[in-house]
């Protein structure tokens, strides 16, 4: 984890919001400035190992949760945007990562909708 920069701003923001904390309150709990927390939440700064350990101890967060699960969503989003219906619309990897991390529920809904669309298209094809 020390060699890898972890940009987990959206996950950290969701964690803070789930606990009903303001940026100022969370920053105080972590011993950092609210402006620094704001930079982290906007992915302008990575989480440091010290900050990850502090999050784990103060907010009982599993450090692995902060590394995210965007990889699987990114692969599924590539499949969605790779469909011929969306030919030429494939966003770059970073854009897909940003989408998966900043809007995980919207990403999951888009993937679910695409899979339902594909399943219906296959059923229709089988009827013909």
Task: Give domain status of residue 2, yes or no.
Answer: no
CA distances from 54 to 25, 26, 50, 59, 95 (A): 14, 11, 6, 8, 30
Task: Give domain status of residue 3, yes or no.
Answer: no
> Which residue range is the domain that position 86 belongs to?
70-127
Number of domains forming the structure of the chain: 2
Beta-carbon contacts of 42 under 8 Å, excluding residues fewer than 6 positions away, are 9
Reported as a single tens digit per residue, the pLDDT across 17-66 is 999 999 999 999 999 999 999 999 988 998 888 998 999 999 998 887 77
What is the pLDDT at residue 105? 83
Q: The whole model's pTM is what?
A: 0.58
Return the CATH number at 44. Answer: 1.10.260.40
What is the pLDDT at residue 32? 97
């Amino acid at each position: 984890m020390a060699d890898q920069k972890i940009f987990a701003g959206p996950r950290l923001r969701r964690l803070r919001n789930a606990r009903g904390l303001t940026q100022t309150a969370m920053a105080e709990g972590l011993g950092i400035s609210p402006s620094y927390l704001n930079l982290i939440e906007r992915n302008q700064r990575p989480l440091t190992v010290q900050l990850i350990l502090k999050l784990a101890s103060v907010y009982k967060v599993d450090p692995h949760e902060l590394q995210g699960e965007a990889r699987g969503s990114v692969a599924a989003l590539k499949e969605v945007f790779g469909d011929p219906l969306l030919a030429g619309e494939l966003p770059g990897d970073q854009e897909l990562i940003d989408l998966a991390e900043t809007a995980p529920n919207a990403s999951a809904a888009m993937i679910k909708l695409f899979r339902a669309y594909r399943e219906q298209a296959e059923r229709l094809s089988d009827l013909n």
